[in-house]
Structure 1
Amino acid sequence: MGGSFGFELDPDRLEEHERQQIPALIELAEKVNPIVVRGDLYRLRLPGASQHPAALVISPDGSQAVLFAYQLLSTTMHENPVIKLQGLEPMARYRLDGDRVFSGATLMNGGMQFAFDGDFDSKIIFLERV
């Protein structure tokens, strides 16, 4: 989730489809890194207490945030967890991944819900104050 970033791999041993994913991973790291390195971390759900840990990092000026949501092990109940955010401005409006817009109050009180695709799936959601 930020800090130093590199690959410990031999590109010659990768499948072509794996090699093609590297530029997108680097682009994602460059987008996440400034927020994570300088921002405030909110631990929303801890791994020891939930199959769906989550963390939110908000930039120092509050204009951007990134949500990391995970599923450790899937269950037969197929729970779609509700993750309530923290640290947002209740009256401000936030655009999620350049798409839908919600108030900070809605995101903190009502939360967000995700469907995960199996064990160790994850979601990264970018928020921008509008």
Structure 2
Amino acid sequence: LIQYGTSFFYPPDTVGSHVSASPNHQTGRRTSLETRAAAAMPGTFGYELDPETLDDLEREEIRGMNQLYRDLQPLIFHGQYDRLTSPDQGMALWEISDDNRVLVQGLVYETEPNALRRRVRLRGLDPEAVYKDADGLRRTGQALMTGGLLLPVTSGTDAPVTVILEREKTQ
């Protein structure tokens, strides 16, 4: 993952990252639009493909991805970026967080059959704060940093992972 190496030297708001065409013009490799978007999200996020080659479903997916990026761009550009895993661990995951939200994103390179779901420890959260995911599951920052976040079920190769946690407001 080029972004993994680049992240050691450049913050996300300086990295030009694009969703390329599939199959890739250099490698011939085929990957889903969702996978390519997850890999390109921690950066300036653009497209490097001919939109005329896309079908209606792909155009709709792109609209959703663009909206997600617009919603997350302030977090991506100004949040705290942490690498959670390295590619040699079979997955490349990163975390970008601020006082209100946490984005955990990346790729699981190969899903193993009958394997337990993977868990990743988050970093730099407020241990006393409560964070809620899209399903309404609530966990403290301490639990997420100590016990970890249980990743969604993946399938296939280069499976994208995107988890957004919202910090609950204190009364």
**TM-score, with length taken from structure 2:** 0.67
Q: Is structure 2 residue 98 aligned with structure 1 residue 54?
A: no
Rounded Cα–Cα distance in structure 1 between residues aligned with 2:126 and 2:76: 19
1:52-87 deviation line (CA, Å, top 9, x unaligned): 22111112xx22111114201233453521111111
| Matched letter for residue 105 of structure 2 | F
- What residue is the counterpart of 2:25 in the other structure? none
- What residue is the counterpart of 1:65 in the other structure? 102
- What residue is the counterpart of 2:10 in the other structure? none
1:96-122 deviation line (CA, Å, top 9, x unaligned): 126211111111111122221110011
Shift of 1:9: 2.3
Rounded Cα–Cα distance in structure 1 between residues aligned with 2:55 and 2:93: 31
Structure 2: stretches of 5+ with no match in the other structure: 1-40
SS of the residue aligned with 2:161? Answer: strand
Rounded Cα–Cα distance in structure 2 between residues aligned with 1:91 and 1:66: 18
Rounded Cα–Cα distance in structure 1 between residues aligned with 2:134 and 2:92: 20
Shift of 1:128: 1.4
SS of the residue aligned with 1:7? Answer: strand
Q: Which has the higher helix share?
A: 2
Structure 1: stretches of 5+ with no match in the other structure: none
Equivalent pairs, count: 127
- What residue is the counterpart of 1:120 in the other structure? 158
| Matched letter for residue 108 of structure 2 | Q
Q: Is structure 2 residue 59 aligned with structure 1 residue 19?
A: yes
Rounded Cα–Cα distance in structure 1 between residues aligned with 2:145 and 2:163: 15
**What percent of counterpart residues are identical?**
26
- What residue is the counterpart of 2:136 in the other structure? 99
